[in-house]
Structure 1
Amino acid sequence: MENQTTVYTLVLAGLSDLPSLQLPLFLVFLLIYLITLTGNLLILLLIFTDSHLHTPMYFFLATLACLDMGYSSVTVPRMLFDLLTGRRVISVRDCITQIYFLIYFALLEVSVLAVMSYDRYVAICHPLHYMQIMNWKVCVQLVSGILGFASIYTLVHTLFLTKLTFCRPDALQSFFCDLPQLLQVSCSDTFINVLLIFLFGIFYGGVVLSVIIYPYITIIRTVLKISSKAMRSKAFSTCSSHLTVFFIFYSTIIFNYFRPNANLRNQELKISLRRMLQNVDCRHKIAQTR
């Protein structure tokens, strides 16, 4: 560490090294990004202008549309800039900032999807008391609580990232900054960072899964008791689309944070644990000599 030079800029691997592909990729992703923004803006406009859609379910849907625009805007504009200019260098500060907002919006989306499952549970299993339970005050409190928790959760990761140093010329194997790739190129001890990923991931992931699975078990039981085939079909249609979005998003996060760098993390954990045990053993021997 003493003989290594600290670097303050990182290189993104990008999507392709072929110059002939830069412009086509730029146009394709620009089109996808504009479609994403336009679609979500149309959803928001429709919800705000139609008084029949001023219900808790569509309130959460509007929140999800806003988060989707925020999540895509964290990475896509920078990627488009790099494709257009060929510049793939990013400062460590900007990289950590991008990671902050990436984790922040991802956490918010998963949380809102989990809250929407509770909303569906109340609507299907307790329809007569739906507006009493899911009133506007409760909806705002739920979203506010999620925003506050996500801010603290993400801030903890970010503060520990600022303690890392970088001295490798390796490129980040992605077209944007993400937590696993950033830890790979750090020359600091990333044991705490990896431990936070696992502890927070297991704890919060377990909570979110419980919030999703338990209501849907009750929902399925209730729907199966409905005599009307059309009503059953409508209920299952609403729930299946929500579950599909959740599990696609959730499985992507799990794969990204728990699969690609499993060998790296296992090695780091083993080295750090071995070092910790050696320190404990040394202190024990020193205490005995005294």
Structure 2
Amino acid sequence: MAKTIQRKPEWLKIDLVSGDKFENFKEIKSMMRSKTLHTVCEEAKCPNIHECWANRTATFMILGDICTRACRFCAVKTGLPTELDRAEPERVAEAAEQMGLRHCVVTSVARDDLADGGASIFADTILALRKRLPMCGVEVLIPDFMGRAESLYAVLDAKPDILNHNVETVERLSDRVRSKAKYRRSLELLERSKAYAPNIRTKSSIMIGVGETVDEVLATMDDLRSVGCDIMTIGQYLQPTKQHLYVEKYYTPDEFAMLKEEGKKRGFAHVESGPLVRSSYHAHEQVESARGT
């Protein structure tokens, strides 16, 4: 039987920016091109790119734009990367300085071809940002490094303010949704981070609408809290291309509000939950909220 395609509801419509904000958007786009930098905003087809770039915020994607994994939800290109750019950390720091960022988010493709998974480039980027923007908060959204503790510790030794690693979905669906990543390995990474650097906030994200139940989402919250995760984000999965997973359900804003309350009850320092929420959406506000708890 043919798959029924879910119609996108009204609350997922995105307003494009205009006026001064559109000029900001163009400026950020031009800067990324001039410094040959990548952003997850573009590569992953984030629905919030116009809003975030108009407000002069962006999530830098280091280690190139080709991922060694092929997750069934992600629009980032898959293949075998051909090089490692050691000058990239300094260019990221230069761009962040020009943008005048107060909070900088750095993520990457998965680089399973590298012995350390790219951890050294993460560390160098954090240190370059600290040098140029000592008052800027630094958040890193890292892959699982195939479970290598020494790679995780190399990133933590550079002292980011937030260590983010996404479980992406509930445990039952993890093998179908993700490539090579393992649900329990992701929890172990977050637990190791807390044990090694207890003063560094940890964060994780899931997308919903790929076939999970609400009870499974609540169980994922419990799993994340059991390893000391401080911040959680929950957003609606949107199918980037016809080759990716179908949307099984569009959750309503009221359902997202309910999940936010459930997360707060479980003791997260901050929960960001909404149809268009992504891992780094309103990241600065998330940090401020978490600090106030």
TM-score range, shorter chain: under 0.3
- TM-score norm. by structure 1 comes to 0.27
Which of the two has greater helix per residue? 1
- TM-score norm. by structure 2 comes to 0.27
Which of the two has greater strand per residue? 2
Greater relative contact order (Cα < 8 A, sep 6+): 1
Larger radius of gyration, structure 1 or 2? 1
